[in-house]
Structure 1
Amino acid sequence: MEEDRYGLPLSTASAEAAAAYREGIDLLLAFWPGATAAFERAIMLDPDFALAHAARARIHAIYLQREAALQTIARARDLVAKRGTAREQSHVAALVLAIEGRGTDALASTLTHLASWPRDAMIMALPLGAFGLLAFSGRADHDAARRDLCDSFASAYGEDWWFMSNHGWALTEAGELAKGRKITERSFALRRHNAYAVHALLHAMFEAGAPDEADALVEGWIGDYDRTGMLHGHICWHQALGALDRGDADKALAIYADVLRPAMDTAPPLNTLSDCASLLWRLMADAQPIPPDAWTEVATYAQNRFAGSTLPFAEMHLVMIAAAMHDGPALKGRLAAMERRLAEGKLAAGRIVPHMLRALRAFADGNWRGCARELTPVMGDLARLGGSHAQREVIEDTWILALIRSGATEKARAVLDARLHRRPSARDMRWRALTVG
């Protein structure tokens, strides 16, 4: 019987289909272009190959192609019931739950599956990362949970380039910077065409306050990475954050115009939404000029793709857009929907969501005291939104600027001193100067 790269049997009689599937899995795990074509080739070579259909459904889901994802994973479920091992049936079942948006059930199914088949990397990937099942679970401790999960499975993977990139990043997000970076660098050394490892290294550099080093990494590496790569735009977003830290808004804007704006980006929609909205918000919050009609372009992009969104991380960015555009009806509707979900017990991230929405609206209206009042009691809950530290920091930045502009300079200075103790930042030093005198 054919096997995947991790030694797990594959129910296909076609060696060529199995080879295409293995190639597709490696490309997907590395966030490298070509995975879709590889899975479609596997399906062409063996139309009854259930796991190839399941992997194709996963990519549909990443790009928010909901109907295609549901149809394709349904095909995988039918096929695996007829011709599939117990592992493959469990594999598809976990993906079904994830693609249907049943996060709690999907996480439980994933952990049960991994207890029997720890080296099933496609399923291992589901709870990991800034957009994974743990990050979007609403748990305040999801960074530590990802680290602990990786720690517990490290012996099963050994020096596997994919697992190490995840393990290293999980350690970094959980505060173990030196250990996390060392493991991530080893992953990168094993496979340089691994955008996930580069991304994890950029997070390690962000946490260490090393924007120049991050900029050099991107400049020296990204020439090999096609713009169609899932993380191409987001890696450039990290570069733009470094430019803002150095006070170089012109470079950040150039990156936005050349790579990030919706008309230029081919990334998964959640990346495009969050990268564009958060960078524009950072520029606006710091009184930097932004391109004419930039907010309108992002709003148009988001309108159809996130029409039914209830994900708090997406809501954060959708409200940035509505607040920046002073779209009162949209803000009122989103706030009412989130408060209703909170009252019904359906909002895993909890009370931080309506507080954050009201705060962003207040900030855009120049109501600094109102913004600070909304955010101060929930700043300890930021992790419940999901995403990474670097992505969530835009809310902390908003809070700090609201404190400064409302006259609460002593509180702002204390927050900035704590951040500067954790990592150096030229931007935070500039802001701290505003709290003195």
Structure 2
Amino acid sequence: MAKFDTYDLPLSTASDEAAALYREGVALMLSAWPGAAEALDGAIDADPDFALAHAARARLHAMRAQPAEAHGRIVVAQEKVGSTHTEREAGHVNALMLAINGRSQETLASALAHVERWPHDAIILSLPIGAFGLFAFSGMADHNQAKVDLCARHAAAFPDDDWWFLTYYGWSLAENGEVARGRTMLERAIGLRRENANTAHALAHAMFESGANDAADALIANWLPDYPRSGILHGHIAWHAALVALERGDADRALAIYADKVQHSVSLGTPIHIVSDAASLLWRLQAYGHAVPEGLWQDAADYARDAFPKPGHAFVDAHMTLLEAATGDNAGLFRRIAALDEMVANGALGAGGIVPAIGRAAQAFAGGDYAGCVRILEPMAADVARIGGSNAQREFPEDMLLIALMRTAETEKARALLDRRLHRRPSPRDSRWLSGLAS
């Protein structure tokens, strides 16, 4: 009897157990919930020739920042795909192979072509979307719109009660300015499947985008205790609670959350989240006028240097420059900026000149050269989206420009920027700053 995945796509396995465990493992992977590895390993044990189970296991290794394991497993998946597997399964494995081998442009082209034929192949459709997806890290300035367009194009392929698609369509809409519509989808999604870290995370983003700080705080307080600390997004969702604390001016609470859930010594998240969350949170604390306890900057910088020894990832590099500037590692910062400049000149950095510009601005800001920071960032403000990530994660360069404007008495420019931000997203902190400029 034929076997199928959750979306009724045929699976080339003769084992009912393997098919059931594959469906379970994929659902857990798409919801960023612990247990996916065990389910997929069980599917492989039940049918060692099941190519898609090997491919999903490779994808999970990649998501967990385990490149050697991901490469090994995708090679097995490629070996297993043959005359006994369908064209769709072969294309699925090929797209994941390209992704795992870091061939981003080819992966994007392959994934988009694949979902034109099989739009409800959720693992492949997931590759371009999300804050760390192929669109976000493509260097595009309009990646938020691209994500919305892709979801809208394939919405008809999914039922109205599909928790995974509602999550990513809703999040894409919220990031692209349709916050109310996106939040409605996300609240429906979390009602359909509460054990879903991706939805809780996306809903926290939607609440951030609308300035709904009390709702975000309540969501995280009620939901996070039920999410195992081994969950890949546990520390990052806690980071959102720390942002709410900072919005309220409560630095002690933000630091307590950092120490308990976000810092590398306690978080089981991936390095990209740990580094970006630490750098941006500590930077916000200091820039907003709060003291960063002795040793925290250096501790975060030491971890980051080991996790990402080489430049070349726009989103990571932007955060690395914050750490290097804050710790006075001028030699490391100069080397990074020089390497990034060379990549930009050679066309090897999709995000372009905004990345070394953020590094130079961070150095100027840390050294008290606020006028220099403004000169660097102001002409490039529209390019910040090109580093990827979410709107919340990319707020720090705009904050840097805004604070530099205020500290150089560029009152009219600072007021105009605050007015735009408050029109987009109500913020107690921005309201306080605006009142201060008016007085």
TM-score (norm 2): 0.97
Partner of 2:111: 110
Partner of 1:7: 8
* Deviation of the 1:82 alpha carbon: 5.5
For residue 393 of structure 2, give the secondary structure of its aligned residue in structure 1: helix
Distance 2:64 2:272 in 1: 8
Partner of 2:80: 79
Distance 1:147 1:109 in 2: 19
Partner of 2:149: 148
* Deviation of the 1:305 alpha carbon: 2.1
Matches within 5 A, 1:381-396: 381-396=383-398
Matches within 5 A, 1:360-399: 360-399=362-401
Number of equivalenced pairs:
437
Contact 1:5 1:22 in 2 (8 A): yes
For residue 84 of structure 1, give the secondary structure of its aligned residue in structure 2: coil
Partner of 2:48: 47
Deviations 1:133-158 (A, max 9, x none): 00101111110010011011111012
Partner of 2:249: 247
TM-score (norm 1): 0.98
Residues 300 and 44 of structure 1, relative CA distance in 2, 3 Å threshold: farther
Farther-moved stretch of structure 1 (210-219 vs 289-298): 289-298
Distance 1:257 1:82 in 2: 53
For residue 435 of structure 1, give the secondary structure of its aligned residue in structure 2: helix
Residue identity in the other structure for 2:309: A
Distance 2:378 2:113 in 1: 38
For residue 131 of structure 1, give the secondary structure of its aligned residue in structure 2: coil
Residue identity in the other structure for 1:421: H
* Deviation of the 1:81 alpha carbon: 3.2
Residue identity in the other structure for 1:428: D
Residue identity in the other structure for 1:182: T
Contact 1:342 1:350 in 2 (8 A): yes
1:267 to 266, 269, 284: 269
RMSD value over aligned CA atoms?
1.2
Partner of 1:92: 93
Deviations 1:305-331 (A, max 9, x none): 211341100101111111111101110
Distance 1:434 1:352 in 2: 30
* Deviation of the 1:351 alpha carbon: 1.7
Partner of 1:163: 165
Q: Quick check: 1:216 aligned with 2:218?
A: yes
Residue identity in the other structure for 2:344: L
Partner of 2:30: 29
Residue identity in the other structure for 1:145: A
Deviations 1:182-212 (A, max 9, x none): 1111111111111111111111111111111
Distance 1:83 1:237 in 2: 46
Partner of 2:228: 226
Q: Kindly report structure 1 stretches of 4+ aligned residues shifted beyond 4 Å.
A: none
1:335 to 331, 337, 344: 337
For residue 119 of structure 2, give the secondary structure of its aligned residue in structure 1: coil
Deviations 1:355-379 (A, max 9, x none): 1111011111111111111100010
Partner of 1:63: 64
Partner of 2:326: 324
Contact 1:404 1:434 in 2 (8 A): no
Distance 1:19 1:296 in 2: 47
Partner of 2:174: 172
Residues 83 and 299 of structure 1, relative CA distance in 2, 3 Å threshold: farther
* Deviation of the 1:39 alpha carbon: 1.2
Distance 1:48 1:309 in 2: 39
Distance 1:49 1:303 in 2: 39
Deviations 1:203-222 (A, max 9, x none): 11111111111101111112
Contact 1:64 1:305 in 2 (8 A): no
* Deviation of the 1:436 alpha carbon: 3.3
Partner of 2:204: 202
Partner of 1:404: 406
Contact 1:383 1:392 in 2 (8 A): yes
Partner of 1:425: 427
Distance 2:174 2:322 in 1: 27
* Deviation of the 1:291 alpha carbon: 2.7
Contact 1:70 1:99 in 2 (8 A): yes
Deviations 1:387-430 (A, max 9, x none): 11111011111111111112212211110111112222111122
Percent same amino acid among aligned pairs? 53
* Deviation of the 1:335 alpha carbon: 0.3
